[in-house]
A = this chain, B = another copy of it.
Amino acid sequence: MRVVVIGAGNVATHLSVAIASLADMEIIQVYSHTEIHAQVLATRLQCDYTADLSHIRNDADIYLFALKDQALESVICSIPSNNGLWLHTSGSMPISVFSGFTERYGVLYPLQTFSKSREITFEGIPLFIECYRKEDKELLEGLARRLSGNVCELSSEKRRSLHLAAVFACNFTNHIYALAEEILQKEGLSRDYLFPLIDETASKIHEMPAREAQTGPAIRYDENIINKHLAMLADDSAVQTLYRLLSQSIHNKQQ
């Protein structure tokens, strides 16, 4: 099975490395708008690369579009037609983005955060698949099940909500970590102190819904502590506002 990877970012890198590790799967080409990115990934995968859409090979079985949403549409309408199965990896783009450009298309959305510098195993990552034609479902589902033990069919509409939830659970959570680290840094305190707390907070919700796991001054809207904290954040009004709104939200959702 030959695969062309379109994109060379975090998702493209991790997904193509995982696919290349499967028996009988071969990445034959990487495309990226930025030639050096295509080259770096192609070197890792030991395959060809191109930064020219018109040079994308037309003899692959699978075309994996792992691109930013803004780039996806313009790339789809610019590549030469072929008979492969076109898959995108976006949580927020509907499957219909391919409509009119090919008859064989689907979605393979991995619900995970990827950084190039960090190794990750695909085994437990939830993969959400959607297929336009019934005839292609076996191919897509087979690929997904070889990558992960956690595969689920999902409509574009539900995937959109899943992606929104993931922005909270990952992107916003990570930013909250960054704000906590900033507070410690200002005091010359090591960010390492937070790891046991962060790990326990994440572990805890495997056992109970987050609403039940909630602790801290905001549940009972303890104005004494909350006002002290707001005063400590006086030099950063954006973070101060976030503190206030998050505390109010905790209090309101607990009622």
Contacts and interface: CB of A to CB of B under 8 A. Distances in A.
Nearest to A179: B168
A184 B162 contact: yes
A166 interface: yes
A175 B253 contact: yes
A215 B171 contact: yes
Instruction: Report, as a range, how many residues of chain A touch the other chain.
Output: 35 or more
A196 interface: yes
13 contacts: A69-B224, A112-B197, A115-B212, A117-B208, A158-B189, A165-B189, A168-B179, A169-B176, A171-B250, A174-B204, A175-B218, A178-B214, A191-B209
A204 B118 CA distance: 8
Given A69-B222, A173-B173, A242-B245, 19 more contacts: A69-B224, A111-B196, A111-B197, A113-B216, A115-B212, A125-B196, A150-B196, A162-B189, A165-B181, A166-B180, A168-B179, A169-B198, A171-B218, A173-B177, A175-B214, A175-B246, A181-B209, A195-B206, A201-B202
Most buried by B among A173, A212, A248: A173
